[in-house]
Amino acid sequence: MKRKFIYNIEPSEENKTIKTFLVGGGRISLTCLKKIKFADDGILLNGNRVFVTAKLTSGDKLEINIADDAESTVIPVNGDLNILYEDEDILAIDKPPYMPVHPSKGHPEDSLANIVMAYYEKSGVNSPFRCVTRLDKNTSGVVIIAKNSVSHDSLRKQLIAGTVIKKYHALVHGITDESGTVNAPIIRPDEATIKRVISENGAHAITHYKTLHTQNDLSFIEVTPETGRTHQIRLHMSHIGHPLCGDFLYGTENDGFKRQMLHASQITFIHPTSKTIVTIKSKNDRWLYE
């Protein structure tokens, strides 16, 4: 299956080369351009095959056809998907807790990837599993999956640039301030452990939070990480004395909760194709109480 992109050239794009329009304009990556420029129908200008050095004229119709030849080793397994949004480029899933995103030695066939690949087979989507926003097994909420290499590359670059805005809901121990910011660098001190620590030698990490509700020495908060370090929210909240409920790694091992109470409630990003701002919200905040 190929993904077709059609661009109607505006006067502002006049005299640009196809390469400049596509790569310089952030529409596709240079790597992707190299893959398609030799295909018979990879790049068509007004229906004719052209080189990437061809110049554009206002009113031109530029067609790009990208074949997804990447292979997947994930075993398709039928299962239920909570689909929040889907188009030709993106699939957004509301992931329940206790479900790993990727297969592993202990979970070869019960991950989100397994179920998505079965869904792809039924839907005629020829693509490997490309997860853009990963979550821990025990963290629930919105997961964004790219359905082709172009959307994956665009969203990956947005993550690196820090323009993807993620919001989480969390239940933490203690009564938090009305709002606050944690600015504390994070490092993995030992390759033999998954646990991270705060260290001046660590990577820059900032987390913002605001309190939504408090009760019985617990706080329900909204968290917006400015950076995306592994375990950032869990470690930062523990660092200021408010560990997530159920977080055995950074909090108390036996506090009566079955998992860390963290839920990806909302993600905002720029759509890879339309360039519009897209906000996807979870419909299952109730998972924080299950």
Residues designated as active site: 136
- Residue type at 31? T
Cα separation, 290 vs 285, whole angstroms? 10
Q: Which residues neighbour 106 within 8 Å (Cβ) at sequence distance 6 or greater? A: none
First vs last C-alpha separation in the chain = 40
Q: Give the β-pairing of 206-215 and 140-146.
A: unpaired
- Closest to 29 in 3D by CA, of 168, 151, 175: 151
Q: Give the CA angle between residues 259, 260, 262 to the nearest 5°.
A: 125
Residue located via tokens 């620590």: 197
